[in-house]
Amino acid sequence: MSGPRYTPLVASLPATVPFVGPETQERSRGRRFKARLGANESLFGPSPKAVAAMAEAAAEVWMYGDPENHELRAALARHHGCAPSNIVVGEGIDGLLGYLVRMLVAPGDAVVTSDGAYPTFNFHVAGFGGVLHKAPYRGDHEDPEALLARVRETGARLVYLANPDNPMGSHHPAATIRAMIEALPEGVLLILDEAYVDLAPEGVAPEIEADDPRVIRMRTFSKGYGMAGLRVGYAIAAPGLVAGFDKVRNHFGVGRIAQAGAMAALQDQPWLAEVQRRVEEARAELGRIARANGLTPLASATNFVTIDCGGDGAFARAVLQALIARDIFVRMPFVAPHDRCIRVSCGGPAELAAFAAALPEALAEVRG
């Protein structure tokens, strides 16, 4: 008996996922992690007002959520000073990236990104038959000039850049992003992934007209707002591009509870400010822990700190595995030379204390 007849494209793809989740690792290990510091979740949690709003909405979960996301789009438009026609809501930035690639990338089309940048975008491009062309980082920063050069070389119509960056935590000032937009060739769309911008210092987010057809800005409720498990993201773009999402998106993809939680979180800006304060404190503490162990913390504009372990990728991977063996979940960049580092999410005192206790033991084992 034969199985399903996959398309040639799908049949050619490896059966894999970008990230192995902590739950998967816990099942294989047979025990829980003491400190969950690898997925860049907000250990400080969502706004209590958002939790209350979601609990109230749960009684109405027998109804589908509004497929237009009308109230949430209107609230986001007010927050960003644009029109609701400039806002599309989806199942996290990952979901929106998938829809965008589906709309704009045909088999064989060139797409440009950075070598070592957020891998889920790459999976979407491969999944729809696009051809990835990668530019190297410049040091620990994505390189806008190198990305533009690759765009010109390949004729790509789509280019991806995250600011602040994952996995390095670095950032470019707003002026650099503005200059990149002005230098885009005609007909090229910049995907500006701003998942971490709520946690970045002043001057990182550029002023961009929402109607500018050259750029789509991706935002999320997963990081600063602390609702990674809810899967709500949104994008700001020109109305024509936003309308295009209606051709391909799952219109019931963002449920009633998720819409209520996102609305309440957006309205509780004091909670976001409190999370920003706690993240800043945690970044400082992670830096102190790294330096106390002879390691180098990289400057971060995110809710994680990337730590240079001072060796090569094999050394950093050994440190990571030694930490996991001590029940500390962390991750690391995939691509050299950034794989000399591990990446540790910000957490509260208990989680950071567990990391501080495990790190010298892990280093001693690896160096031993």
What is the tens place of the pLDDT at every residue in 280-299? 999 999 999 999 999 999 99
| Integer CA distances (angstroms), 259 to 71, 76, 112, in order | 8, 12, 33
Segments of the chain assigned to CATH 3.40.640.10: 48-267
Domain 20-45+270-367: CATH architecture, name and number where available: Alpha-Beta Complex (3.90)
Segments of the chain assigned to CATH 3.90.1150.10: 20-45+270-367
Instruction: Retrieve residue 77's tokens.
Output: 């438009």
Instruction: Retrieve residue 356's tokens.
Output: 């501080």
Q: What is the pLDDT of residue 3?
A: 82
Give the distance from CA 302 to its chain's centroid.
10
pLDDT along the chain (368 residues), means of 10: 85 83 92 96 97 97 96 98 98 98 97 96 96 97 98 97 97 98 98 98 95 98 97 98 96 97 98 98 98 98 98 98 97 96 97 98 96
Domain 48-267: CATH architecture, name and number where available: 3-Layer(aba) Sandwich (3.40)
CA dist 61 and 200 (Å) reads: 35
Residue with tokens 């206790």: 357
Q: Give Cβ neighbours of residue 266 (< 8 Å, ≥ 6 apart).
A: 72, 75, 76, 79, 221, 225
Q: What is the pLDDT of residue 218?
A: 98
Q: Please, are residues 199 and 276 in contact by the beta-carbon 8 Å criterion?
A: yes
CA dist 196 and 282 (Å) reads: 15
The predicted model scores a pTM of 0.95
Q: What is the pLDDT of residue 19?
A: 82
